[in-house]
Chains A and B, each alone.
Chain A
Amino acid sequence: MSGKNEKNIVSSLRETLSSLRLTIGLLIVLAVASIFGTVIPQNAAPEEYLRVYKVTTYKILHILGFLNMYRSWWFLLLLALLCVNLIACSAGRFRLTWRLISRPREKLEEPEWKSLSPKKTLPLKGDPRDWASAVREGLSGRFRAPKTIEEDGTVHFFAEKGRVSRLGAYFVHLGVLVILGGALIGFFYGFRGNINLLEGETASRVTLRNGGQVPLPGFKLKLDQFTVSFYSTGAPKEFKSVVTLREGDQNVRSESIRVNHPLSHRGLTFYQSSYGVAGVEKALLAVKEKNAGKEHLVEAKMGVKTELPGSSYAFVLTRFIPDLQGMGPAFQVLSLEPNRPHENFFVLQSHPEMEDRRPGAYRFQIREITPRYYSGLQVTKDPGVPLVWTGCLLMVAGFYLAFFLSHRRLWVRLSARGKETLLEIAGSSHRNRTGFEEEFEKMFQALRAEILTPGNRSQEREGQA
């Protein structure tokens, strides 16, 4: 008894897993869950959640996986279930479809003739066999290689086209599975991380999202130059990192990485993802001699002693402060004025008037600050990507087959009616019936015109062959 029960459970489980009801249910549940995922911010910091939610709400959402929902066990389970359902459902139907296209019904029985539509008849003179080759010719023009069966004086023809259209849905389903397979490979064998580099620096490791580090496989990456350019409107135009890849002591590649133009090397791909100011490279300063009233324009590098041309005065930019107590960018300057103790003071870019209050013979004005940029490169390894694109191609091919082609079949029967012959022709299309009816009508008229041509009498034709 229990064995039978188990069998029942197994078979009903199998039935459920391969049912379309489950497919539709899963798609709806996935859609609704995804809505939650777009409304609840994903992977944000706990503080951000606590600003919006109560502590208990936050904890419940956290436990249920709603804060990293698309990777939560239940969401992945739903996807896995969809795959199982897709396979079970498609496999079950595929057997029927395959039988239909590999073993077509070439000869119809009487009841099938009755039920088919569209259908036409044409009375002809003479014996059915006299007309066979003319009909064959007529069909060949439109359908590939019609099959002929002769039986008890009746001639049957069968022709079809577009049967591959029946496979469309399977291509699409296979595509979905291949894409998810590619995603799975990426999940297990891929990683994503960052490299932040100052110009001139070399990296040999990638910092992963979770804080871990991975060495670059067999090469190092040096940032030669980073540039940002802007449109006249102030919007960014281009971010570009010029990099050199080194393997051992050899420079193997020197290329630029821009947004939308990543660089791939040894299975890793580098993307221009961010940039920032890590400090100051140099500054253009106007230094005024208070007594002489002379102004010098000098370019000063950070931390390097800069001499004023034609004088014994020198200074060092020791520190850059992006915003000094809300008064904007400032340099800390070490002034090396002869015959005076060395002085340390701040020069503000936006408040040049402050300089007038300071003792000493030289006044500074900041004309231009050249920042020292760092470039943020995203580094990705995803061996699943080719599979994902393959899946996409399968899907698109499947849609073409499924929606833009149709499986059209044609049966013709020539049977003796006393001393005369009756031609019957019937067709079927598994999609776009109205369109097919028009096509059928046209085809029938053309076929009729062709076989009724006097030169097309079958005896003559057969004599030639």
Chain B
Amino acid sequence: MISSKLVTAVTFLYLFCTVLYFNYLVFRSQKLGGLAVLSTWAALALHTAAILARWIESYQLGFGHAPLSNMYESLVFFSWCIALIYLLWELRLKTRVLGAFALPFAFLSIAYAALSPGVSDRIDPLIPALQSNWLHAHVITCFLSYASFAVSCAVSVMYLVKARREKPGGAEGGMLSLFPSLESLDSLIYKTIAVGFPLLTIGIITGSAWANYAWGSYWSWDPKETWSLITWFVYAVFLHARFTREWRGKRTAILSLLGFGAVIFTYFGVNYVLSGLHSYAS
């Protein structure tokens, strides 16, 4: 299938982009930075083409459906969302340093899809439970929120790295000289979560609406649902701690890491460790 080959190509392209962004950090050359941005947009374009190709291929097999239905497709889509959300933030913030920390997530996600023998790239027809328009709304909102949280996690890592180095006696300069100030990193952690949290909420709501249509119950404490709620709780704590208890900096950065840990467990852990309604996604 062409789409699988495209996915493999995109995987290496994201690796290449990540390396470029790191080189940009190390050598502080604007040319390298520009090249990194350009290649990432190119990678996203090719990535989009890969997803569309898979969509077309599914129609050629006779049971066409949007490529959002199994582990492979969701990993590819997750990676696409991370690259897109990252690039949009880059446009808005006009800074390129985040790429070195955000793009590895896009790379890892798609690399897992493309290279892991445990994830099959076969296009399967949709079982009756998945034949619903809610599937699209649910998957798209969930992965856009996960991607926002991934970017937030990347920024949190940057914050913690910079905060550690900036301690009295810590070495100044080097890679860190291009980093935004601690204050702007801190506010960016909040902003990315302020985008991810409503999307996660809509993702959970569309999931419940779908479950109500398919199974007659909008909430059944299935492990995937419960873990999405746990994730929601963690980010709710983040927002309340920041808004009303004026938590800033290291503590909120750690909360954001914790939140992303919950996201990853909701996504993978539940499929591989626990069982439930979403186990068909594995």
* A positions within 8 Å CB-CB of B: 20-21, 23-24, 27-28, 30-31, 34-35, 37-39, 42, 70, 183, 192, 231-233, 235-239, 258-262, 269, 271-273, 378-380, 385, 388-389, 392, 395-396, 399-400, 403, 434
Contact = CB atoms under 8 A, between A and B. Distances in A.
Given A378-B215, A388-B218, A231 B125 contact: yes
A69 B227 CA distance: 15
Given A30-B233, A389-B209, 6 more contacts: A24-B240, A24-B241, A38-B270, A273-B215, A273-B216, A400-B198
Contacts of B214: 259-260, 271
B124 interface: yes
B216 A396 contact: no
Interface string B183-213: 0000100000011011001100100111011
B219 interface: yes
A260 B198 contact: no
Contact of B212 (A38, A239, A385, A400): A385
A259 B131 contact: yes
B12 interface: no
A20 B223 contact: no
A380 B216 CA distance: 6
A260 B234 contact: no
Contact of A260 (B128, B223, B274): B128
A238 B198 contact: no
A239 B215 CA distance: 13
Contacts of A20: 240, 244-245
B227 A237 contact: no
B236 interface: yes
A262 B213 contact: yes
Contacts of A258: 128
Given A24-B241, A396-B202, A260 B129 contact: yes
A235 B194 contact: no
B128 A238 contact: yes
Given A23-B240, A42-B221, A231-B63, A271 B216 contact: yes
Contacts of B127: 235-236
A34 B125 contact: no
Interface string B240-261: 1100110000000000000000
A259 B129 contact: yes
Contacts of A403: 194-195, 197-198
B95 interface: no
B132 interface: yes
Given A259-B129, A273-B215, A38 B226 contact: yes
B192 to A, nearest CB: 11
B230 interface: yes
A42 B223 CA distance: 10
Contact of B128 (A37, A236, A262, A434): A236
Contacts of A232: 62
A34 B230 CA distance: 7
B219 A183 contact: yes
B50 to A, nearest CB: 23
A239 B128 CA distance: 7
B274 A38 contact: yes
Given A269-B216, A271-B216, A385-B212, A31 B230 contact: yes
Contacts of A237: 125, 128
Contacts of B233: 27-28, 30-31, 34
B125 A233 contact: yes
A27 B63 CA distance: 44
- Give me the 3 closest cross-chain CB pairs, A-B, nearest first: A259-B128, A399-B198, A380-B216
Contacts of B195: 403
B132 A260 contact: yes
B216 A192 contact: yes
